[in-house]
Amino acid sequence: MRRFFSKFKFFGVVLLGLSAIIIYLFYNALQPKKNLPIFQPSMVDQSLVDSTLHYKKKYHTIANFELINQNGKTITQDTYQDKIYVADFFFTTCPTICPIMTKNMVEIQNSILDNEDVMLLSHSVTPVIDSVAQLKKYAKEKGVDDNKWNLVTGDKKQIYALARKSYLAVKTDGDGGPYDMIHTENFILVDKERRIRGFYDGTNPEEIEKLLEDLKILESSYAE
């Protein structure tokens, strides 16, 4: 009799385990999938959006570009083809927010070193000062991995147009001329289709954690 109940107990434990697995699978299946928004100009503070884009509600993507990185290599949109990337705007002589942003970008870099799908892109907003040699020096000092992270310089008007009309990251005042100056703490998450999927304060550790979480969500959307 004891042997009979012992077998019954074993099957009961197995059944209980299977029930727990089934409940867990059903619970996960019923949970809404996490998806990141696809940001359009109409969804962003209009002070950060060029007037020609205020009412654009779909199909906004990062424009084509051609810039030079810390190694003197030409970097274009093709460099980031089929890549998720995080973009920002900085300058090497900035004494305020840029060192914090760079430190946090290094943290992001270290978390994606083995991830072939993700890269980083930092645009100098003082390209006349930030020559290739200056960017290379800065990259070495900050621990930039050339395979993951491009620091780019080039035509100022092109960089400022990207900031204002593509990345929707800074106020639209100015024309990229010699006295025009932008300064933004924004990190921008861009997907493989060159669409904006998130904005984050690059000086805020909590925002960096949020970015890394959103990055995983975005990556998982390509694995489905």
Question: Is 183 among the annotated ligand-binding positions?
Answer: yes
Considering the domain architecture, whether residues 77 and 130 belong to the same structural domain is answered as: yes
> Is 85 domain-assigned?
yes
Considering the domain architecture, whether residues 124 and 23 belong to the same structural domain is answered as: no
d(CA 169, CA 88): 9
pLDDT digits (tens, 9 = 90+) for 41-92: 999 988 888 778 877 888 999 999 999 999 999 999 999 999 999 999 999 9
Bridging pattern class, strands 74-76 and 66-68: antiparallel
d(CA 203, CA 206): 9
| Beta carbons of 124 and 91 less than 8 angstroms apart | yes
Question: Is 123 among the annotated ligand-binding positions?
Answer: no
The domain total for the chain is 2
Q: What is the pLDDT of residue 5?
A: 47
pLDDT digits (tens, 9 = 90+) for 129-177: 999 999 999 999 999 999 999 999 999 999 999 999 999 988 777 777 7
> Is 106 domain-assigned?
yes
Considering the domain architecture, whether residues 103 and 179 belong to the same structural domain is answered as: yes
Domain of residue 52, residue span: 41-223
Question: Is 98 among the annotated ligand-binding positions?
Answer: yes
Tell me whether residue 199 is exposed, middle or buried, using C-beta atoms within 10 angstroms of its C-beta: 0 to 12, 13 to 18, 19 or more: buried
pLDDT digits (tens, 9 = 90+) for 207-222: 999 999 999 999 999 9
